[in-house]
């Protein structure tokens, strides 16, 4: 019995400590998460692993304490129940320490939040994203560099971005609430009809990635999938030229 408890406890600890160690030693955040490909993804991952480590340690401690109490105070006909008023010191400690941790986390995460959701940096490129049942529509500016004009370039489910450029998305929806989600961005933004939400990214790695809809939006939700390609500027311009020719 004791061996089984120790076995389970060490398995839980390993599952929690490994990602924390991976983060601490900089071996990338690939233990649980796909690779991060933007300038802000390491910042988000770091916050995630800090919260995971804190809650993981508390979880293991609480479960171990629970097991210890279950065994130590199990039914014993020889023992009489005693009355206790509690312990003021213990109550102050178990209130003050979590409060201090939460306040510290609030300040720390506020910095991350304002970086990601505060005023976006000046964009090199702006793309309008419109969700609809069940596809992603992307709108690029044409030769005039302005969105919402006659020479705009429209694509369906095909999102190409140049690497190392700041991109500002304007996200909305035609019908129901969708959610624009690229796991490698570590960002997710609801696409709400009648509302334009902004989200910016600065991709630093090239490759092909999936664009998912992260909001159950109807029967075809599962097949609402876009394709993101992050490529060098010249390849991006070539692709945009091809899309223009198809309009
Ligand atoms: Cu959807």
Contacts of 170 (CB under 8 A, 6+ apart): 126, 127, 128, 129, 147, 196, 197, 198
Could you tell me the residue range of the domain that residue 63 belongs to?
Answer: 2-77+84-117
pLDDT for 29 equals 46
17 vs 156: which has the higher pLDDT: 156
- 133 and 69 share one domain: no
180 CA distance to ligand 1 middle (Å): 8
130 CA distance to ligand 1 middle (Å): 10
**pLDDT band at residue 208 using 50, 70 and 90 as cut-offs:** very high
pLDDT over 70, % of the chain:
87
Structure tokens at 27: 């071996």
pLDDT for 20 equals 59
- 154 and 59 share one domain: no
pLDDT for 247 equals 82
Beta bridge partners of 210: 227
CATH number reported for the structural domain that contains residue 165 in this entry? 2.60.40.420
pLDDT for 145 equals 85
- 149 and 239 share one domain: yes
Which of 92, 117, 142 corresponds to the end of one domain?
Answer: 117
- 113 and 129 share one domain: no
DSSP state of 183: G
38: helix, strand or coil: strand
192 CA distance to ligand 1 middle (Å): 10
- 162 and 90 share one domain: no
153 CA distance to ligand 1 middle (Å): 22
211 CA distance to ligand 1 middle (Å): 11
How many structural domains is the chain composed of? 2
What is the rounded average pLDDT of the residues 151-173? 96
140 CA distance to ligand 1 middle (Å): 21
Structure pTM? Answer: 0.81
């Amino acid at each position: 019995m004791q061996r089984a408890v120790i076995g389970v406890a060490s398995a839980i600890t390993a599952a929690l400590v490994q990602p924390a160690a991976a983060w601490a030693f900089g071996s990338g955040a690939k233990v649980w998460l796909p690779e991060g490909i933007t300038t802000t993804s390491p910042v988000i991952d770091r916050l995630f692993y800090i919260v995971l480590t804190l809650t993981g340690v508390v979880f293991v401690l609480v479960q171990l304490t629970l097991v210890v109490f279950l065994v130590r105070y199990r039914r014993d006909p020889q023992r009489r129940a005693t009355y206790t008023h509690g312990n003021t010191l213990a109550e102050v400690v178990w209130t003050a320490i979590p409060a201090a941790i939460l306040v510290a986390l609030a300040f720390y995460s506020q910095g991350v939040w304002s970086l990601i959701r505060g005023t976006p940096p000046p964009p090199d490129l702006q793309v309008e994203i419109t969700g609809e049942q069940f596809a992603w529509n992307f709108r690029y500016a044409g030769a005039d560099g302005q969105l919402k004009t006659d020479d705009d370039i429209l694509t369906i489910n095909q999102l190409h971005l140049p690497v190392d450029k700041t991109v500002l998305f304007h996200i909305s929806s035609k019908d129901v609430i969708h959610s624009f989600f690229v796991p490698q961005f570590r960002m997710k933004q609801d696409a709400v009809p009648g509302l334009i939400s902004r989200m910016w990214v600065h991709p630093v790695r090239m490759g092909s990635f999936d664009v998912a809809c992260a909001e159950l939006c109807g029967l075809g939700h599962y097949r609402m999938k876009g394709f993101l390609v992050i490529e060098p500027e010249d390849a991006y311009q070539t692709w945009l030229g091809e899309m223009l020719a198809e309009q």
